[in-house]
Amino acid sequence: MLYAPAECDQCGVVFGSGVVIAEHPGEPSSYRRTAGPCPQCGGRGSVPEWVFRFHATAAGARDQATPDEISSLSVALRRHLSSSEPRGLGDADSDLNADLVGPWRPVAVVLHRSPADQRSAQLTLLLWMLDPP
């Protein structure tokens, strides 16, 4: 089952919220604006309002992608998210930009239009969709 990401209001860590995002027809979905406790600091987290729209865009791209395209993007996302100083998608040297092509282009458009402070949660949700935790 796929859960929406939440971002801790105190420390900024992204974690699974417990808010279900339906991955298959018939699965229930729900929506809450808060989640917690944060696994890092124990604080409360916010579930972003964009999760269901972003999920729909990313699921469509994933369904069109080949297994190699999914694997390649999963590796790039893990590398990007584990970096001690993640680069923004607008950076000329961002390795992730090169992987957001082909079926991933609609996802790249959404990411580029989203506020930078939401990007880590969006990329985490995308990784969870491609490579469940």
H or E segment to which residue 7 belongs: strand 2-8
Average pLDDT over residues 44-60: 90
Average pLDDT over residues 89-96: 55
Asked if the model's pLDDT at residue 91 lies above 80, the reply is: no
Which of 23, 17, 58 lies closest to 37, judged by CA?
A: 17
CA 17 to chain centre: 13
pTM: 0.80
Asked if the model's pLDDT at residue 11 lies above 90, the reply is: yes
- Token look-up 């696994």 returns 39
Asked if the model's pLDDT at residue 19 lies above 70, the reply is: yes
Asked if the model's pLDDT at residue 111 lies above 50, the reply is: yes
Confidence band, pLDDT 50/70/90 cuts, at residue 87: low
Write the DSSP symbol of residue 79: H
**Cα atoms in the Cβ-side hemisphere of radius 13 Å centred on 15:** 21
- Average pLDDT of the residues of the chain: 85
| Beta carbons within 8 Å of 32's beta carbon, 6+ residues apart | 17, 18, 19, 47
Confidence band, pLDDT 50/70/90 cuts, at residue 32: confident
Peptide bond before residue 37 is cis, with ω within 30 degrees of 0: yes
